[in-house]
Chain A
Amino acid sequence: MANQIPILIRKELLAHLRTLRLVVALVFTVVLCLFTTIMGSLDYSLNMRAYEKAVDELHQGMDEARVFEALQPDMYVPPQPVQILCRGIVQGAGQRFRLFLRDYFLGVDQVGASSADDLMNTLVQVDFVSVVSLVLSFLAIALGFDAICGEREQGTLRLLLSHSVSRGQVVVAKLLGGVLSVWSPLAIAFVASLLVMQANPDVHLTGDDWLRLFLLFLLTCLFLAEMFALSVLVSVYTRHASTSLIVCLFGWLILGSGYSSALPAVARHTLDWPPWQEFIEGRNAEWQHFYEAMDEWEEGHPPLTPAYYRGFRRDGILRYVHPQGYEWLDARAAFEFDKMLEMADRVEKIRWQNQSPLAEQQFVVDEWSVLSPVTGYRVLGKWLARSTLEDRFQIARYGFRYRESYIDFLRARFAAEGWRRWYTDDPPDTTPMIEDPASVTPEMLAGDAPFLQERLAWAEDRWQDDRDDPRRRLDLTGLPEVGPGWQRTLPESLQRMMSGLTIMILTLGLAVLLTVRRFQTYQLS
């Protein structure tokens, strides 16, 4: 008895594979998947170029920086090849955490020219996962809607059951045969997409990437099985193929396009968020406090006459200041550094209060997406490709810790070498531009005063000789490096996927169970 099942499966499979609907869907799927993957792969290369350019500029900037104030060791994350198939919120681009000391933000931005373009932002982007979620899920429905009621109407079901097979075997074979029929175009499309990706010399897949791609394939198989089982379920609960079809079609429309359009709109307009203006005002107030604190410090530590601080400024860096002037500037820098970091923390807190309700809207969308098989599949795909908003925050949180370690590095350096390196590259034995500031009157420092002109000319000459002094280069030994941990590991990703996967498997199981149960008592006439 049990060996009847393979025969039945074979019959289902052959019956499906020969149909026009499967051929049409196969052609559509393969062409569309190839098309989107080729476009995505080309876009990946563009994003890679943008990323490489940005990293080059970062290194160049770090090489050229002469003072720590001008150093900004931003953290860059390259575009991820798995995201060619599932672009998600990161849109397949490289990411950057900007390491501002004055004003940071627990967020990352995209590397690439089109990321901040108001026009391009209105366009929705397509990838393998979205094509599959629409086209192949439709195929699953087109194959499943008449699985039971269609055969009943044609009278073939009676014929089938007159053989010595149990009803349970028939329905299980129908489910398996149908699922295998839907998986065949998927397998072809997936392999074709992988080949396209492999053909791109910029794409380097690591072991982890392969594992994720494999899991994405399994996830897609599960999703298609779910869709097929649901349509067979409809088929076994209806008497006519035409009714079953209408239910399936509208179900597909609502679960797919309808739910995915409505969900973000509902989240966006029903959840409250504070206006941006509140943040602007809060930030301005914090800056005001900062300036006041600096003024207060200066009142407590009155500076000497301007002649002590008059130096030569080039490329934003002050040089050839009198040693006594430097002493005061060092003390001021030490105070300013702490105040600045305090202010940055407070501004970030205000900004987070302002922005987290907005991020929450996306989290709500991701959480509720699992309710519909189609959107659930898309979200699970994003978790696998690490292109969800949570994954962006993962990078940002890593960037934030990196910033902390950079600050520790700076503090250790200044504790050892003094604060001068924060704002100037003058070595300790530099001759000042004004050697005896006590004798200089304010008139001598006026813009066109001969004394000042002569001293500036001296500094200019001096700078030409000094500029290549190796001691002026910034010593970056000990600068913390970006290590692993900026993105989720596979177990971490899977952990986040658990609720969605559970719902998916439960739906599939429930659909199969109900179908089998109902079919036991299905009226043939």
Chain B
Amino acid sequence: MGVIYLQQLREYFASFRVQIGLFVVLLFFLLNGVLASLRIEQMREDDALLRANIEQRYERVQTVASGASTRFRVANEPTGTEFMSEGGFNWFWGSVWMTAETGVFMGFYYARDINVWMDRFESLDWTLIVRLVLSFLCIVLAYDGIAGEAERGTLRLVLAYPISRIQVLLAKFSAQLTVLGTAFVLGSLISLVILSFGADLALTVELLGKYLLYGAAVGIYLSLFLLLSLGVSALMRSSVSALVLLTLTWAVVNIILPQSSYLAAVRTVEVPEEMRSEAGSYMSQVRWSLYNEGRGPRSPETARADDYAVERRYARLMEDAEKEGYRLGQVWLDRKVERYEVARTVNLLSPAYAFQYAVEALLGTGLPKRQHFLDQAFEYRETLRSFLRERDAGDGDSPHLLFHSEFMSQEPLDGDQMPRFVEQPLSPADGVAFSVVPFVVLLVETLASFLFALWAVNRLDVTGYAMAEDS
């Protein structure tokens, strides 16, 4: 078996297809390194503006009351591994606007500059290269792994040796995996070198850990395509037919199926446009109806006379309205995710996306990061509120009508003292938890293609091969 392995390996590295394949892979990684460096440079400028904009808001705070009425903004942080897996970092909401004031819903938007004028395109990250280019290289390497030898008649010779068919299969498979592994390692190193010089990427132990995890996932994903190709190669009577079938399958699972997930999701879960503004409009409706009924707050001077009786009732009613409003907002947010989950489930059928979702979760990006960030944004509003509540409680003159800034403490407050938002990255344990499902899908699919390859090789009848194709 070892002999076949070495023999295959030598043959591959000497072959035209591997040389051109390696060249293409390295070209893509080179492009990835250059583009990612440019992107990181741009993001440093973007982020300086973003941080300044966020800080300005705290500088405007003068009193406890103005702390309650100021519209603050929080933003997410890059994971630093966007060049490996962008994971929706540019397109998912990364910025939330909020105020402590009762009855105002939060606003969500992108954190950094995006280009809404462009056709959607996927960022050229490692994941895209692995998903498309390396998996295609698997097919190019393995489509004639069995059928080609059968056509040339050498398969009979190989099988004449005292080794089992499984051993032949495994020897070929490991030689191919070695070639692909070499392509990935060389390519990723090129990308890393460019990034470390071009964008001062720090090569830390943490990054090494992520790299190894990533490499393991790449190994599983490529094994799947290799085994599938070898299986089809053993099954088909001609190598060209095997190639056509494999490439079309590749195009379907890697490109077309994922692209139709959008249509599937839109058809399955409806998110009416009204839902987007429902939270805000519900709360302002309650506010206006209270005003119209004359139960709205009066001027602070008038209200003081009867110890804020009307205002207290107003605050109580608005408190309930806020609970309902935030519930409605949550329904909308959940519904959006529900729709997206349909698309993800369709995508998950494709090993390419099983791989992508697994590495996204492991690298702490993708949908898990978005959800984690939004949860933290909601928590931060609570943090802001409890800070202001405490400061307001310390002022004896305040009417303590909480989060109606007109009826809160006028004591001076320095914005610098207010708590700041810092996004906590997804913990490794959570990342692993989120990657379990896609990983299991990927492993099951890999195992299935292994069994398929095994079955196909064992049922192979080496005597009946004709030399020509399709006859």
A452 at the interface (CB under 8 A from B): no
A264 touches B260 (CB 8 A): no
A78 to B112, CA, bound (A): 32
> Does A46 contact B266, Cβ atoms closer than 8 Å?
yes
Chain B residues closer than 8 Å to A447, beta-carbon distance: 298-299, 302
Nearest residue in B to A54 (C-beta to C-beta)? B273
Q: Cβ of A389 < 8 Å from any Cβ of B?
A: yes
Q: Which residues of chain A are within 8 angstroms of B241 by Cβ–Cβ distance?
A: 19-21, 24
Annotate B5-22 by CB proximity to A: 1 below 8 A, 0 otherwise.
Answer: 000000000001100110
Give the residue of B17, B255, B337 whose beta carbon is less than 8 angstroms from that of A134.
Answer: B255
What is the CA–CA distance of A117 and B335 in the complex, to the nearest angstrom?
A: 11
CB pair B92–A122 under 8 Å, yes or no, is: yes
Within 8 A of B (CB), among A100-155: 112-114, 116-126, 130-131, 134-135, 138-139, 142, 146, 154
Interchain residue pairs with CB less than 8 A apart (15): A43-B267, A114-B339, A120-B339, A123-B262, A126-B256, A245-B243, A247-B20, A249-B140, A253-B133, A261-B122, A277-B49, A358-B116, A361-B118, A362-B117, A365-B119
A88 at the interface (CB under 8 A from B): yes
CA distance A249 to B20 in the complex (A): 11
Min Cβ gap B82→A in Å is: 12
Please, what's the 1-or-0 string for A248-292, where 1 marks a CB less than 8 Å from any CB in chain B?
A: 011001100110111011111110010111000000000000000
Task: Tell me which residues across on chain A come within 8 A of B264, comparing CB atoms.
Answer: 39
Interface residues of B in 221-241 (CB under 8 A from A): 236, 238, 240-241
> Does B387 sit at the interface, judged by CB under 8 A?
no
**B124 CB–A CB distance under 8 Å:** yes
Q: In the complex, how many angstroms separate the beta carbon of A341 from the nearest chain B beta carbon?
A: 26
Closest Cβ neighbor of A379 among chain B residues: B119
Complex interface: stretch among A28-36, A66-74, A198-206, A422-430: A28-36
- Closest CB in chain A relative to B256 CB, distance in Å: 6
Query: A487 within 8 Å of B by Cβ?
Result: no
Q: Which residues of A contact B443 (CB under 8 A)?
A: none
CB < 8 Å A-B pair total: 211
A: residues with CB less than 8 A from B are: 18-21, 24-25, 28, 32, 35-36, 39-40, 42-43, 46, 50, 88-89, 112-114, 116-126, 130-131, 134-135, 138-139, 142, 146, 154, 242-243, 245-247, 249-250, 253-254, 257-258, 260-262, 264-270, 273, 275-277, 355, 358-359, 361-362, 365, 389, 447-448
Stretch from B184-192, B246-254, B323-331, B454-462 forming part of the interface with A: B246-254
With A and B bound together, what is the CA distance between A154 and B238 in angstroms? 14
The yes or no answer to B120 lying at the interface (CB within 8 A) is yes
Chain B residue at minimal CB-CB distance from A21 = B244
B contact patch SS: helix
Is B124 within 8 A of A118, CB to CB? no
**Given A21-B470, A120-B265, A276-B113: A113 and B271 interface contact (C-beta under 8 Å):** yes
Would A265 and B124 count as touching, CB distance under 8 A?
yes
Expressed in whole angstroms, the minimum distance between the Cβ of A56 and any Cβ of chain B is 13
B88 and A122 contacting across the interface, CB-CB below 8 Å: yes
Q: Which residues of B contact A267 (CB under 8 A)?
A: 118
Which residues on the B side are within 8 Å of A21 (C-beta)?
Answer: 240-241, 244, 470
- Cα A130 to Cα B252 with chains together (Å): 12
Residues of A within 8 A of B128 (CB): 261
- The contact string, 1 if C-beta is below 8 Å from chain A, for chain B 123-150, is 1100010001100100010000000000
Does B28 lie at the interface of the complex (its beta carbon under 8 Å from any beta carbon of A)? yes
Contact A39 B469 (CB under 8 A): no
Question: Nearest B residue to A39 by beta-carbon distance?
Answer: B263
Q: Check A261 against B121 for contact (C-beta < 8 Å).
A: yes
Q: Mark B260-284, 1 if CB is under 8 A from A, else 0.
A: 1111111100111100100000000
B447 at the interface (CB under 8 A from A): no
A sample of 13 more A-B contacts (CB under 8 A), given A19-B470, A447-B302, is A24-B248, A89-B117, A112-B273, A123-B259, A123-B343, A126-B256, A126-B262, A138-B248, A243-B16, A258-B132, A275-B46, A365-B119, A448-B298
State the Cβ distance, A376 to closest chain B Cβ, in Å.
Answer: 15
Contacting B21 at CB < 8 Å: which of A138, A142, A250, A273?
A: A250
A-B interface, 6 closest residue pairs, ranked by CB to CB distance from nearest: A126-B259, A39-B263, A119-B340, A264-B121, A123-B262, A21-B244
Q: Are B45 and A275 in contact (CB under 8 A)?
A: yes
